[in-house]
Amino acid sequence: MGGEAFGAPSGRLVVDVWSDVVCPFCYMGDTLLDQALEQFPHAADVDVRYHSFLLMPDVAEGAAPVNPADYLAARYRIPREQAVAMNDQVTERARQVGLEYHLDRAQSVSTRTAHQLSHFAATHGAQHEMVRRLFRAYFTEGLDLSDHAVLGDLAAEVGLDRDAALAALASQEYAAAVEADLEQARRYGINGVPFFVFAGRYAVSGAQPVEAFLQALTTSWDETVAGAPAGANR
């Protein structure tokens, strides 16, 4: 997987992450990566960049929110009780990595607008904080992530200008950036998330154990940053 599509400043390791803020394993994967970074000696020189992916591309923008169990039951034509049991299993797995899921109150909606907010936050150096806040808003608090007012409030909570965020969403300023991420995912053959790319070279798919992320960080650091010629740009 070529790194030319990403680019990175000299002396830094970039981790590119495709995820969706309504993806339960994406929230877990992000948390496990954070835990790996806590053990990584060069964590201060690691940049994590988030790219848009639509876990539910069939959900139209503006469609009324539905509970995840109802969505799963309809999409996969399974009894609702089975969908609830699946969500209970996911909730338990999340608990084991320190996360609190309340899927009974979650609202499944199109996340295109939430992804635009992620890109807005990236231009202000707060993308990770924004993505984490969006995760918690969906999985723990049951907020509607297609509602501009809700998104504006969440932006303000992570220190961004609420009015500027709302203006960016209203103008669709970052819609093209979302589409570029989706197209890049298609070119790379990414059909499931979370999907992590370390230094544009090494891929990790899914919410892997901390040890797997730590190994990917160490290998990519040793082979691309530590082994790079002085002054080289990757």
Condensed to tens digits (0 to 9), the pLDDT of residues 124-145 reads 999 999 999 999 999 999 999 9
Give the Cα separation of 115 and 47 in Å (integer): 19
Q: Are strands 195-198 and 13-19 parallel, antiparallel or unpaired?
A: antiparallel
Task: Tell me the domains of the chain and their CATH numbers.
Answer: 13-225 (3.40.30.10)
Q: Coil, strand, or helix at residue 218?
A: helix
Within 13 Å and on the Cβ side, how many CA atoms surround 151?
24
Alpha-carbon distances of 196 from 124, 150, 219, rounded to whole Å: 22, 28, 14
Alpha-carbon distances of 187 from 113, 116, 180, 182, 229, rounded to whole Å: 22, 21, 10, 9, 30
- What is the enclosing helix (H) or strand (E) of 76? helix 68-76
How many other CB atoms are found less than 10 A from the CB of residue 19? Answer: 24
Biggest CA–CA distance in the chain, Å, is: 59
DSSP per-residue string spanning 123-172: TTT-HHHHHHHHHHHHHTT---TT-HHHHHHHHHHTT--HHHHHHHHHHT
Give the Cα separation of 119 and 224 in Å (integer): 26
Predicted TM-score (pTM) of this structure: 0.92
The tens place of each residue's pLDDT in the chain, 234 residues long, gives: 433 345 566 689 999 999 999 999 999 999 999 999 999 999 999 999 999 999 999 999 999 999 999 999 999 999 999 999 999 999 999 999 999 999 999 999 999 999 999 999 999 999 999 999 999 999 999 999 999 999 999 999 999 999 999 999 999 999 999 999 999 999 999 999 999 999 999 999 999 999 999 999 999 999 988 766 544 443
